[in-house]
Amino acid sequence: MATVHKLRLAIKFGKNLSRPLSRSFERKILEKQCQRLLAINTNILAQNFSSQTATQTTELHNIIKDVEKSTEEGVKHEFRSETQMLLQIVAKSLYSNKEVFLRELISNASDALEKLRYIRLSDSKAAEVIGDRSLEIHIGTDKQNRTLVIQDTGIGMTREELISNLGTIARSGSRAFIEKLKEKQNIGDSSNIIGQFGVGFYSAFMVADKVEVFTKSFAKDAEDLYWVSDGSNTFNISKAEEVQPGTKIVIHLNMECRQFSDEDTINRLITKYSNFINSPIYVNGKRINTVQPLWMLDPKDITPLQHKEFYRFIGNFFDSPRFILQYSTDVPLNIRAILYFPEQKPPLFDFSKNETSGISLYSRKVLIKNKVENILPNWMRFIVGVVDSEDIPLNLSRELLQNSTLIGKLRNVLTTRILKFLNEKSQKQIEDYNKFYKDYNIFLKEGIVSTDVQEEKEAIANLLRFESSATASGESISLEDYSKRMPSDQKKIYYLLAPSRQLAEQSPYYESLKKRNVEVLFCYEAYDDVIFLNLKKFKTYPLVSVEENLCESDSKSDSPHIINQGEINNLMSYMRKVLSGKAHDIKITTRLESHPCIVTVQEMATARHFARMQTRQFGDEMLYSLLRPCFEINPNHSLIKKLCELINSNTKLADLLIKQLFTNSMVEAGLIDNPRVLLASMNELLTLALEKK
């Protein structure tokens, strides 16, 4: 299927040229591609892609032959002065990790093959000269002689190109090649050609005492050439013989880097950096890169089994992806991405990990870096996948990722697309999304707290789900659902923090809104109030906890008081003396019915978490001074009416009851985290009650 797809692309590419291919040449392409199709091992064609790894055969295929040699002393050339200086930088300190030299040289070889592929499709005369040779990269290792050979069957180089491309470190042959194409015509796919021999080639001197290059251009009657340098100030070019078309690089490794002559080491590095190169890569005759870059394929051509195998390959997982987002765009950046949402529930301790993302960054199928920092917000660290962008330059930034602006743009585009994707899932696959939300909601809530962009906060917030006073137990809604059914005169979104629905419905803070049939969101996680505190608003509606000291219009009641104003004033004065040092203020509330009293503070969520964290550091007196709780009493409650009588008849019992009611309210509000503080006053109250009997 992949080969047929490539064939269709090749024909389409040829037809898009400003000078259309002739019918005879197009037929030749078809015939040659069909011959290659027929030559493919039937076992590979028959397999149903149960594995991303191609069928392994015992037959070796190796084009590397140690027959090339120089036939003359040659001509010595000096590197340009700036090249000499830059060569030392490249060789000594440009790359922090020396193993990336192999990535650079394989990338260069791949570019040479892409150039030849284009010429063969676009120039019939050149195609006859080139013939039907396979486009391949071969690598040979020799531990005994401490050498590494990298050979391609690509475009090769002439003498002038050797001097130009390998004599000037800052020159990019491919950049000049693309500019030349643009002068003649607009080639839509020419951007696939990256620098053939620029800075990357010189990374070989990080590991080498000497580098040799044998090359032969694809052109008719091209001469065999030999280039050699020890990385000092000069290089030598001479004629050679027995050179195959393409380029062969022989690296004589220094003692410190002799491990790169080991076959297993090279296989590991190819799998790490260059596994998705278009052309086949052979090491000592064995094919290495057998995994398809799924993100470059049409989503319709990818089976669920392929996704499963690829997901397990890149993430080292054993489960299957829950959701799959395959995304491609050319505006504002060129991006080809495939992102997986794990099916498995994250381990308990993963919530607190501050890890980088599970995203690998590629440019034209060449690995830039695994687990790229900042390419996704940290709260999306559970997502694994690949992001490929042609806009990532394959130069110094590939190693150092210095272009933070570009990474920032990638982050913004991907974050927006992922949030849109999750929102679509929440609307179209409700059951599947609810399962995802149950497992990963803590990451979404982390996202609201960690981002400073209000628009992003609200986009994440719309993915949250809460039970509501207007829905049945077990049913949840979004903030969007809530806002759509708000009455026209309601200007706020109300929520209540409680351990369970039963306790939420019994909460004294909910009574007033329940009576007026105002919908309230029920939040069952201890940190939900912090989430709303950070979110502040959704659309234009402020998010208000019903535990806050509601304004008069939110808590108004027309019910008459069963206690006259004089008795109420006396009781409040008495309470102020008893609760001196604890209650900052005492006042009447009209929003309670079945409860005698409540405690309110400014910014209840902040106060609650402060109380939990700082209880051990502050004494009671300091804690009450910082919290400044307001004790609100219900003048229509029978217990408050009884207190009006007790302050005149039994002050000891009245004092105990007032302290008990205040402590109960502090516990109810979550401002006292340890309910054992109730025991002492409760026992004293019970003792006094028994004595009266």
Longest dimension (CA), the chain: 122
CA distance 171 to 189: 22
CA distance 105 to 211: 12
Structure tokens at 87: 């060569």
99: helix, strand or coil: coil
Q: Are strands 137-142 and 281-283 parallel, antiparallel or unpaired?
A: parallel
DSSP string, 471-502: S-TT--B-HHHHHHT--TT---EEEEE-SSHH
Q: For helices 638-649 and 565-578, what crossing angle results, to 10°?
A: 70
Quote the distance between the C-alpha of residue 395 and its chain's center. 23
- 363 within 8 A of 293, measured Cβ to Cβ: no
- Residue 383 is which amino acid? I
Residue 485's CB is within 10 A of a number of other CB atoms, namely 11
- 240 within 8 A of 162, measured Cβ to Cβ: no
Strands (E), 294-429: 321-329, 335-342, 358-363, 366-369, 384-388
C-alpha closest to that of 181 among 17, 57, 304: 17
Question: How many Å from the N-terminal Cα to the C-terminal Cα in the chain?
Answer: 92
Report the binding-site residues: 104, 108, 152, 157, 165, 172-173, 196-201, 247, 398
46: helix, strand or coil: helix
Report the binding-site residues for ATP: 104, 108, 152, 157, 165, 172-173, 196-201, 247, 398
- 236 within 8 A of 77, measured Cβ to Cβ: yes
- 620 within 8 A of 671, measured Cβ to Cβ: no
C-alpha closest to that of 140 among 53, 226, 234, 68: 68
